[in-house]
A and B are shown apart, each in its own frame.
Chain A
Amino acid sequence: MKARVSLTVNGEVHEVLVPVHKTLLEVLREDLGLTGTKHGCELGECGTCTVLVDGEPVLACLALPVELEGRSIVTVEGLAEGGRLHPLQQAFVELGAAQCGYCTPGMLLTARALLEENPVPTREQIRQALAGNLCRCTGYTKILDAVELAALRLAAAGRGARP
């Protein structure tokens, strides 16, 4: 069964004709060419494929596009605004929070949702928010540091997590 689906990804509307059993992960990567969304298990067990749907972190590997019409989907490709990196991206670059980089898109999006909701999180709150994103390289240390730094900068600039 194929369905024509209209998906709003990073503010752009895409009309796709896809089998309904293709997950958002597959459609993003294989039909829209947005390979920034990675995958580590496709079973909801690692958090690598996290994207934002209406601002909330969800797993693209377990989401059906047919249920996402009219919702706003944000992937890592939609984090930067024009040529300007999101403060989280900038902090990840500066602090070395991306090693192999494979968990990075999911981490960034999850962290962005956290800062939208809680602009000045404690380290423990960051840990809780990122508890659904596995990383094997960093020991999470520089990731936590980078989220803290981005939060500080956003707070200093007096704005929420949107750049």
Chain B
Amino acid sequence: MKPPGFSVIGKPLPKVDAWGKVTGETRYADDMVLPRMAYGKLLRSPHPHARIRRIDTARAAALPGVYGVITGRDLPPVKFGILPVSQDEEALCTEKVRMVGDAVAAVAAVDEETAERACGLIDVEYEPLPALMSIEESLAHPEVRIHEYGDGPNVHKVVALQFGDVEAALARADLVREDVFFFEGSTHLPMEQHAAVAHWGPDGKLTLWSSTQTPHYVHRLLAKILDVPAARIRVIAAPVGGGFGGKLDPFAHEIAACKLSQVTGRPVKIALTREEVFYVHRGRHPVLMWIKTGFTRDGGITGCHLRTWLDGGAYGSYGVASTFYTGVINPVSYKIPVYRFEGARVFTNKPPCGPKRGHGTPQPRFALECQIDKAAEQLGLDPVEMRRRLVPEPFTRTANHLTITTIGLKECIDRVADASGWRRKWRGWRKVRTGDGPGRRGIGFACSAYMTGAGTAIYWNSMPHSGVVIRADRSGGVTVQCGATDIGQGSDSILAYLPAEILGLEPADVHVHAADTSLTPVDLGSYSSRVTLMCGMAAIQAAERLKAAIAKAVAQKLECGPGELVFRDRKVGAPGDWEKAVTFAQAVELAESMHGVLAFPGSYAPPRRAGKYKGGGVGPSPCYSYSACVVDLTVDEETGAVTLHDVWVAHDVGRALNPLLVEGQVEGSIYMGIGEALMEAQVFRKGLHRTPSMLDYKSPTTLETPEIHTILVETDDPEGPFGAKEAGQGPLLPVIPAIANAIYDAVGVRVDEVPITPEKILRGLELARQGKAARVGPERVPLFRFKEPIVVESAFGQPADAVVVRPFQS
């Protein structure tokens, strides 16, 4: 796997922050204590939808030990949101609450108990409004408006895109399938509950430490929300105890901590309870899907038409992007010559949905992969072989104008089929599984694709998406500064490995300072699987610049050409004359004597490849990762219980910069996919979250998690750092449909809806006994008229652009 010549890349090295994490030294946001620090609490709405008539904080303010009480009236009257097109949030609601858990006031006090008691003394008079708790309810009640903006009453966003003549393609098909699927919402459930510490000093400067995945966006938005020059704000991402997309928005507790710090003249910490984390949410959208696909006799796809309805919850969050993502990524994995996609995101009175691992794509992937399985059965094809034939060519474009570079999907399919023993275990369609007892063994397959970083920033700009400054020190060490945020995936380690490789150092010689808006160049944040690629490319550029400067000075000393020099083993020298090689520390001294301070920037922005149509900015990515998955399980026919035995995923990661970290990402993705497939559900009853606790929201334990087998496929993508692509999200996607397909293989029941619970499997078996179709899932789609689509020619099969604008490359 590791090509010769690398000293760091490809090695299973420890993460640079591993030691702190095993000794308890790592200081997460809630571990911070500052002198005179006050503790804050938010008062949250008990109503899913209500007008605020009056808030009286007098009794709370009078409580001994209370330092300050604020409401939305104490904040500048601006609304905000992570996306410029969805500025619909208030940190503390002033006129209306739109969900149980919306914050309306905040208290800072001597301790948490006092702050909580004070919250209980705040009198809020509400005028309850009808609560809309589902897509159907929101569409059925246009007279009840959750927000006054959007693409229709309670409709946040509608997307309609068409690439080529889909109707004609379907008419040509040998088999046309129409299926309806539902994917229930779920939440990230990071082990760490969000926390923030704010210090607004008497000098007017504000520092916020927060468990955030995106200090840069928080920095920008704090300036707007607090009406303070951004230059006086510093945001530091504390080590994040799990994110998965749940710490990607600016949150009420962060903003309230800042304001309370200003008001009280003390540092203020606000740490959320687990229940509050469920209200903060921004998790997986519940999505209802209708998918119509034409197939040829040999398993080819003639065209596909997908409609999605997203239950967005109470606010916009990343929802516009989520809506696009339910449609735009499916064509990246298979040859789909023409494609039509319509999506609508609907507001409801529930915690807002947003970006959870896989952001908007696990839902349509579930639909597509289950539908392909059904088509394979009708066509009498092996589902593995059928997908293998559907794999697109490398360096071509999809119908919706996304550029595929390398594609290792065929190798993923072959290797996962081999490793899992697919050809031996899969016994063809409609083979009745029998045996002693109620257990029925089944095996299922699915594939997926995911992007390696969003091609465009959240706010439109021409600046780098990731920046690195590297500084060489006379000690022989180097310091890397980058805004990238390590949420456990290992971005700090990547920032050490890549310069170490280039400069012939060991990772321990590299000091990484990350995610501090005062010290580090901007990196947009840990989302869209962008960090390794983007901060990696920026780090490579910075390290190469440093290397060139050092080489020039060493060449002068050794009287050779700079091009002859190699950097290895913490030395710089000519390979033919290695005895004369100087130590890296000496090399730095030589170079500093020649150039002055050795500090070099690296910048990265993705190649400009956005489709030339409205909406073409969502979906493009420097490159795409690919995954193939096999699941082996047993279904208990009497109880409907599913026992997973083994899950195999082969993942095209381009190049594994550190196989341990990549495997860890794949394993974690599989785990999260298992939870969503079988048990996790963010569901509501009577306007309230049904299960806002670790006990009642079911997250798999060691006992539900099967043996996981990871196979890494390397394609050496020209867009990635040393050829690397993403690994943190894509491998989640195929797991869910592979489980659904394996359940079908085991007991002949199609559950077209996740989570696939024992109750649903038993219902399917009961239907089968009654001689009916053994299918459980949604029966209908909403009455909803999508707008006329934007019609664009399909770009399917066209070669990738020969010339692409690559910002900051020289």
Contact = CB atoms under 8 A, between A and B. Distances in A.
Interface stretch (A64-72, A128-136, A151-159): A128-136
Select the residue from A33, A80, A96, A133 with max chain B CB neighbours within 10 A. Answer: A96
Interface in A113-158: 126-128, 130-142, 144
Contact of B192 (A29, A38, A142): A38
A155 B274 CA distance: 40
A92 B19 CA distance: 9
B783 interface: no
Interface residues of A, number: 53
A163 interface: no
A12 to B, nearest CB: 15
A93 interface: yes
B241 A89 contact: no
B26 interface: yes
Contacts of A85: 19, 22-23
Contact of B26 (A92, A96, A101, A126): A101
Contact of A99 (B14, B188, B664, B708): B664
A135 B191 contact: yes
Contacts, number: 163
B22 A138 contact: no
B31 A43 contact: no
Contacts of B702: 126-128, 130-131, 133, 140, 144
A45 interface: yes
A3 interface: no
B18 A136 contact: no
B265 interface: no
A136 B672 contact: yes
Given A40-B274, A85-B22, A108-B22, A131 B701 contact: yes
Nearest to A33: B33
Contacts of B693: 41, 43, 45
A41 B274 contact: yes
Contacts of A15: none
Select the residue from B33, B188, B663 with max chain A CB neighbours within 10 A. Answer: B663
Interface in B674-688: none
Contacts of A27: none
B543 to A, nearest CB: 24
Given A45-B694, A100-B240, A139 B705 contact: yes
Interface in B188-239: 188-193, 239
Given A43-B694, A79-B23, A127-B703, A96 B664 contact: yes
A102 B28 contact: yes
Nearest to A91: B22
Interface in A14-32: 29
A54 interface: no
Given A36-B23, A79-B23, A137-B488, A100 B190 contact: yes
27 contacts: A35-B27, A38-B192, A41-B694, A42-B273, A42-B274, A43-B274, A93-B19, A96-B12, A96-B661, A96-B664, A99-B490, A100-B192, A100-B241, A100-B487, A102-B191, A103-B191, A108-B22, A126-B702, A128-B702, A132-B701, A134-B694, A136-B242, A137-B191, A139-B670, A141-B707, A141-B708, A142-B663
Interface of B: 12, 14-15, 17-28, 31, 33, 188-193, 239-244, 273-274, 487-490, 660-661, 663-664, 667-672, 693-695, 699, 701-703, 705, 707-708
